[in-house]
Amino acid sequence: RLKDLELAELGDSDVHVQMLAAPINPADINMIQGTYAILSPLPAIGGNEGVGEVLEVGQRVTALKPGDRVIPAGTGLGTWRTQGVFPAEALLKVPSDIPVLCAATLSVNPCTAYRMLADFETLAPGDSVIQNAANSGVGQAVIQIAKASGIKTINVVRDRPDLPKLVERLMALGADHVVTEEMLRKPEMKEIFKSTPKPRLALNCVGGKSTTEMLRHLQPKGTMVTYGGMAKQPVMVPVSAFIFRDVRLRGFWMTQWRKDHAQDQESLTGMMDALCQLVRRGQLSAPACTEVPLQDYRAALEATMKPFTSSKQILLL
């Protein structure tokens, strides 16, 4: 529910932030449902991602000043609010010349896409990646980051009534191929591999049958990285894929990466700088968004949970 809260007093190491915009991600819904791997102690404010403007800083805060734009450094900040007082170390400064919607959606999906493309296989220009849920926030970021690096993408989506429109939108982002889950079994895939090498990396956000079909096209010794399970079904792998093709199955969770690199600020700032440069150069845009005033949060939550959602709900604060 929407509720007025007293603003906490500003401590010496705190920052008073006016929130500007915050998206609703699937993980936010899972946290509310109590099914996510990390849960905030109740009562809690929802939202793990967003962008705000610094209004005031405590006496000991030197890295931030009023007018700076900030995003959460980790999860569980509770971004669905108009204002908040946060410890300075819980915030990351972002350039003010980046569009608000890009900044609001920067710390989860593009970071996940960036790390999965960089950390599991050494990809060179001309190599290819296959991914399902290609129209998701991460999927759209993968297409654009890969395109900027000269890596080809084979993008799998579920069949739907407005499929031609979705294919057109993903191709406009830089997708090389867009196929439905049903097409993964069909001879047309051979046509794709005449012009595009078989992928060494597969990114799985669905699970179930979609994963098994995608795995068939992975190169021997290739890697499949699972970062979501939208079908709520296990990852099924034929024994032959392990024995005769020696495929690797890995998992990725951005929250864990941040924990593992908490003492390695260079990795974090390097990634954020690289993403901000892509945004500035027009090579990485915010996902398709629907902007919703905070008081209409119920409609935004319902829209996020509908099937075939191709637009991310963004709360304007």
Position with higher pLDDT, 230 vs 66: 66
Q: What pLDDT score does 275 carry?
A: 97
For residue 199, give Cα distances in angstroms to 15, 118, 139, 313: 45, 14, 16, 32
Give the global pTM.
Answer: 0.93
User: Does residue 145 surpass a pLDDT of 90?
Assistant: yes
The alpha helices in 132-208, defined as continuous H runs, are: 137-148, 163-173, 188-195
Q: Which listed residue (36, 114, 227, 297) is catalytic?
A: 36
- Closest to 48 measured CA to CA, from 203, 253, 311: 253
Q: What is the pLDDT of residue 188?
A: 87
Q: How much is the pLDDT for 311? A: 86
Rounded CA-CA distance 84/19 in Å is 8
Report the percent of the chain where pLDDT is more than 70. 99
CATH 3.90.180.10 residue spans of the chain: 14-105+286-316
CB 116 within 8 A of CB 136: no
- In the prediction, which pLDDT does 265 show? 86
Q: Is the pLDDT reported for residue 64 higher than 80?
A: yes
14-105+286-316 architecture in CATH? Alpha-Beta Complex (3.90)
Residues of the chain with CATH 3.40.50.720: 108-255
At residue 113, the pLDDT reads: 98
In total, the chain counts a number of residues equal to: 317
- The question of whether 227 is a catalytic residue gets the answer no
For the stretch 264-310, pLDDT in tens is 989 999 999 999 999 999 999 999 899 999 999 999 999 998 876 77
Residue 15 has pLDDT above 90, yes or no: yes
- What are the residue ranges of helices labelled H in 196-264? 209-215, 239-243, 254-260
pLDDT band at 138 (very low <50, low <70, confident <90, very high): very high
Q: What distance, in Å, lies between the first and last C-alpha atoms of the chain? A: 15
Mean pLDDT along residues 121-149: 96
Burial class (CB in 10 A: 0-12, 13-18, 19+), 148: middle
**SS3 of 138, please?**
helix
| Higher local confidence (pLDDT), 37 or 80 | 80
Peptide bond connecting 72 to the previous residue in cis, omega within 30 degrees of 0 = no
Write the CATH number of the domain with boundaries 108-255: 3.40.50.720
Please classify residue 34 by burial: count the beta carbons closer than 10 Å to its beta carbon, then call 0-12 exposed, 13-18 middle and 19+ buried: exposed
Mean pLDDT to the nearest integer, 154-173: 94
Amino acid at 315: L
- Average pLDDT in the chain: 95
